Amino acid sequence: GLTVYLNGEFMPLPEARISPLDRGFVFADGVYEVIPAYGGRLLRLGEHLQRLENSLAGIRIDNPLDRPAWTAMLEDLLARNGGGDRSIYLQVTRGPAFPRDHAFPEQPRPTVFAMSTPLRPLDPALRASGVPAISHEDIRWDRCDLKTIALLPAVLMKQLAKERGAFETILVRNGLVLEGAASNVFAVMDGVLVTPPKGPFLLPGITRDLVLELAAEHGFPWREADLPAAALDRADELWVTSSTREIVPVTSLDGRAVGAGRPGPVYARFYGWYQEKLAQLRSG
Ligand code: PMP
């Protein structure tokens, strides 16, 4: 069984208990992170902990642990669960409070939870064919840069994708593509890799930054620029990126083929470069 971390202690998952008055449960008052580990080593831990700090500050929860304590706890959690290729889910909420009141409690006692599960690679057949996606108006709020546990819009958008046989829903606000329900978006347009600029309407993905870094490292032309949904008709390639799925080629959007309708050559290069990074991490 899984060993999880809850409020300073490691325990078997079935023993982990939180109050039904936890503000995470009652108000979705909390933030989270997902961090991948390859060969037992955490990918971009510093970047994930920085984003966690930003998310906590954004909703005004004091960080319950400092960086060395987060690092030690997460490495311990990985080791206790056998290392290998895993994904860590961690969540911090504003903790239990009674009576129910929207405003913060006087003395919040944050709930800190972390677990590690095996990283399940994307079905190789899907990776080879590319995946279908749909687009939808963005129904979220204006602080999508914070990784909060208030995920109902993402839940509904992912369910819609599933019901339509698609892998992801690409969110559009005022005619601009922002990101996927649980991923960032890249397009290859006229030989240039394009992704929307960071801002309040999308999550600054750690994988997104890594992909841009790979472009710079290998001298591939790239730009952070607005991506009108209408311009996707002319895109040669479309990808979505995330920590658990890495880079995924999108080969149809709303039922129409993207580019040649197959994973493109630019995707193949970047996916190879990404796997090189992971190999380096695995071998220390
Ligand atoms: N955008 C959203 C809305 C997400 O939920 C995620 C992560 N699941 C991402 C982008 C990708 O971020 P990362 O590369 O850090 O996993």
Q: What percentage of the chain exceeds 90 in pLDDT?
A: 99
The torsion angles phi and psi of 194, rounded to 5 degrees, stand at -120, 135
Instruction: Note whether 224 and 215 are within 8 A (CB).
Output: no
Looking at domain 124-282, which CATH architecture does it have?
A: Alpha-Beta Barrel (3.20)
Question: For residue range 134-187, what is the model confidence (pLDDT) as tens digits?
Answer: 999 999 999 999 999 999 999 999 999 999 999 999 999 999 999 999 999 999
Question: For residue range 172-205, what is the model confidence (pLDDT) as tens digits?
Answer: 999 999 999 999 999 999 999 999 999 999 999 9
Q: Where in the chain is the domain with CATH 3.20.10.10?
A: 124-282
Question: ipTM score here?
Answer: 0.99
277 is catalytic: no
pTM of the full structure: 0.98
Q: Where in the chain is the domain with CATH 3.30.470.10?
A: 3-118
Query: Residue 5: which H helix or E strand, with range?
Result: strand 3-6
Spacing, Cα 112 to ligand 1 middle (Å): 20
Beta strands in 27-175 (DSSP E): 30-38, 41-42, 86-93, 111-118, 131-137, 168-173
Instruction: Note whether 45 and 74 are within 8 A (CB).
Output: yes
The dotted CATH code for 3-118 is 3.30.470.10
Ligand 1: residue of 90, 139, 173, 183 to mutate (most ligand atoms within 8 A of CB) is 183
Q: What is the model's pLDDT at position 83?
A: 81
Spacing, Cα 271 to ligand 1 middle (Å): 17
